[in-house]
Amino acid sequence: MRKQPAHLRALNVVSILVFAVYFVIISAEVIQLWSVLGAWGVLCSAVAGYILADFLSGFVHFLGDTFGSPTTPIIGPAFVFPFREHHIEPEAITHHDFIETNGHNCLVSIPVMMIMAHVLFKYAVVSATAGFAFATSYFLIFGVLLTNQFHKWAHMKRAPAPIRFLQRTRIILSPAHHKIHHTSPYTRYFCITTGWLNFTLDRLFFFPIAKFTIRRIPFMLKTAEEYTDR
Residue spans of the domains in the chain: they are: 6-229
Give the angle 149-152-155 at the CA atoms, nearest 5°. Answer: 155
The model's pLDDT over 152-207, given as tens digits with 9 standing for 90+, comes to: 999 999 999 999 999 999 999 999 999 999 998 889 999 999 999 999 999 999 99
Q: Which of 208, 52, 228 is nearest to 139 (CA)?
A: 52
223 by Cβ neighbours in 10 Å (0-12 / 13-18 / 19+) ranks as middle
Nearest by Cα to 60 from 77, 76, 80, 85: 80
Query: What are the tens digits of pLDDT across the range 49-80?
Result: 999 999 999 999 999 999 888 777 777 777 77
Q: Is the peptide bond before 185 cis (omega within 30 degrees of 0)?
A: yes
Q: How large is the average pLDDT for residues 31-39?
A: 91
